[in-house]
Each structure stands twice: as C-alpha cells, then as structure tokens.
Amino acid sequence: QVQVVETGGGLVQAGGSLRLSCAASGRTFSNYYMGWFRQAPGKERELVAAISWNGRNTDYSDSVKGRFTISKDSAENTVYLQMSSLKPEDTAVYYCAAGYSADSRWVATMVVEYHYWGQGTQITVSS
C-alpha cells in the first residue's frame, strides 16, 4: 500500500507565499504520478497541479498557472507545491494524491485517476 502525508498549510495574507510538502511511501514506490488537489467548502475537489513519476511532465489548473510550481525531490518520493501571489480564492483544503501508471511520463488530471490520498491541509488566504 501507499501512504501519502502532506504538510505546510496555514494562514497567509493575500500576495504571500507558502510551500506544501508531500511525502509518499509504500511497498515499492515507482511509476507513481502525483498531484495536488484542493476542495473548498461546498465545492468539488479540483486539480491544482500534477507531475509525472519522471518529473519531466507537469500540468496546472489555469487558475494557478504562473503562481504555483510543482516539483519533486531527487529521490522522487516527495513532491512540493510552491505557492506564491496567493489570493483569497485559493483558500481550501489541499490534498496530495498518488496514482500508478506503467508510463513514467504520464500525468493524470482527474480525481478518479488517483488512488492514494493524504489527509489534507488547510490553506487560508486572508484579504
């Protein structure tokens, strides 16, 4: 099984920055794409950013493109979400997730394509 744990949430003023970290582990952890999703109260969970196992391919929601950056560490078992120029509409619970693909280049963008989820971390951006 795969375990996913995210940290780094908190309260920040509009225009500020935060960095989220996601540590993943399992029986073996190879060929797993990973992504960040967020969910605000009363709304559906939505993609923020995703990255392929090999780290070379990424995808971003249009709403965060240019402000957020997803990356992996050299061991490819931790992913990060660097968030800058935060806006009140970024307020949500942020979830890290992982899913398997035989293709190390694959990036999945839908909730149903992810099978392992972290507990979530709250991001609140104040005006």
Distances 65 to 28, 58, 109 between C-alpha atoms, Å:
32, 11, 14
pLDDT band at 56, cuts 50/70/90? very high
pLDDT of 59 over the 80 cut = yes
Distance from C-alpha of 91 to C-alpha of 32, rounded to nearest angstrom: 27
Q: Which of 46, 59, 38 is nearest to 118 (CA)?
A: 38
pLDDT at 28: 77
Is the dihedral angle over the CA atoms 75, 106, 80, 38 positive or is it negative?
Answer: negative
**Mean pLDDT of all residues in the chain?**
95
pLDDT tens digits for 13-39?
A: 999 999 999 998 877 788 999 999 999
